[in-house]
């Protein structure tokens, strides 16, 4: 389907279209379309912009990724379809390895996603030949690679399921999640939950990685200052503020867009 550029919700419709095409191509599973709809509902509520607490978490995520000895980005069907290029750019900026890890795993899907990422410029993407299992997980998500997620100290897990986030935390890894639902088990279990839309989150983290790379003292300060519980409380306060605005008849206009700048500290 051709979406007219003049449509007021062009960007959102394009995202859906990209996911549907990726589903037809065997990259996204039907469950991924449901997951996207849930994310969209939360994004509406949040005003479709990055909140101040999300920016703080994104900056902390960048600081932790930079300090990691073995940082890894985990990619599933939705992430590959929506943000394959952004993942590759972020992995290069850190630098980090990329591993395809699927909940609804099939060899064919892994192969297609690896191919998509490599076409976007990624080198030696892991996932096709897992050689380890994440303890305490019965799903196919447990299949991992020693050079990737299994051996990582910091893992970025966008659009995750709570079980694996929990299992990775049990393995003493720093788990950075991206999930618009602040109540999901993933957001609750991750070490650094980022409550933001995937595209915005990946681009903000990349900007912060570039900024903090040249300022290791500031990166260390950001790591020391970050508090998960306080940050999640700030997300709930932000939601309260949004709902209060709606209650007072301020309309559904998006919250003002915030740039990924130092103001997000």
31 binds ligand PTJ (CB under 6 A): yes
CB of 198 to ligand PTJ, least distance (A): 4
Q: Is 93 or 159 the residue whose CB approaches ligand PTJ more closely?
A: 159
Backbone angles phi, psi at 25, to 5 degrees: -85, 0
User: How many residues lie near ligand PTJ (CB under 6 A)?
Assistant: 23
Q: Is 42 or 238 the residue whose CB approaches ligand PTJ more closely?
A: 42
CB of 234 to ligand PTJ, least distance (A): 18
91 vs 31, 134, 150, 202, 265, CA distance in Å? 26, 22, 17, 10, 23
CB of 143 to ligand PTJ, least distance (A): 12
Classify residue 215 by its DSSP letter.
-
Per CB under 6 A, contacts with ligand PTJ among 72-91 are: 76-78
Encoded tokens for 4: 């007219």
143: part of which helix (H) or strand (E)?
strand 143-144
- How would DSSP label each residue in 214-256? T-HHHHHHHHHH--HHHHHHHHHHHHHHHHHHHHTT--SPPPP
Beta strands 174-178 and 154-158 are parallel
d(CA 36, CA 133): 28
Q: Is 29 or 98 the residue whose CB approaches ligand PTJ more closely?
A: 29
Q: Is 65 or 178 the residue whose CB approaches ligand PTJ more closely?
A: 178
- Choosing from 9, 38, 227, 233, the residue that interacts with ligand PTJ (CB under 6 A) is 38
Query: Would you tell me which residues interact with ligand PTJ (CB under 6 A)?
Result: 29, 31-32, 35-36, 38-39, 42, 76-78, 102-104, 159, 161, 178-181, 184, 197-198
């Amino acid at each position: 389907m051709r979406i007219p550029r003049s449509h007021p919700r062009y960007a959102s419709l394009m995202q859906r279209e990209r996911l549907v095409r990726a589903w037809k191509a065997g990259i996204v599973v039907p469950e991924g379309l449901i997951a996207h709809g849930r994310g969209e509902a939360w994004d509406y509520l949040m005003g479709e912009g990055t909140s101040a607490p999300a920016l703080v978490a994104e900056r902390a995520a960048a600081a932790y990724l930079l300090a990691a000895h073995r940082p890894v980005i985990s990619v599933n069907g939705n992430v590959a379809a929506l943000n394959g290029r952004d993942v590759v750019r972020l992995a290069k900026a850190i630098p980090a390895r990329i591993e395809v890890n699927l909940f609804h795993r099939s060899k064919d899907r892994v192969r297609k996603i690896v191919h998509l990422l490599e076409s976007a410029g990624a080198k030696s993407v892991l996932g096709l030949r897992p050689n380890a299992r994440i303890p305490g997980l019965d799903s196919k998500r447990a299949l991992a690679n020693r050079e990737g997620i299994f051996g990582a100290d910091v893992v970025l897990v966008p659009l995750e399921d709570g079980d694996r986030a929990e299992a990775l935390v049990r393995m003493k890894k720093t788990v950075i999640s991206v999930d618009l639902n602040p109540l999901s088990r993933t957001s609750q279990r991750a070490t650094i939950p980022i409550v933001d839309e995937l595209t915005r989150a990946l681009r903000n983290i990349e900007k912060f990685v570039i900024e903090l790379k040249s300022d290791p003292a500031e990166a260390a300060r950001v790591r020391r200052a970050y508090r998960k519980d306080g940050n999640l409380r700030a997300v709930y306060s932000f939601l309260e503020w949004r709902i209060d605005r709606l209650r007072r008849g301020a309309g559904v206009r998006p919250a003002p867009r915030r740039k990924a700048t130092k103001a997000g500290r």
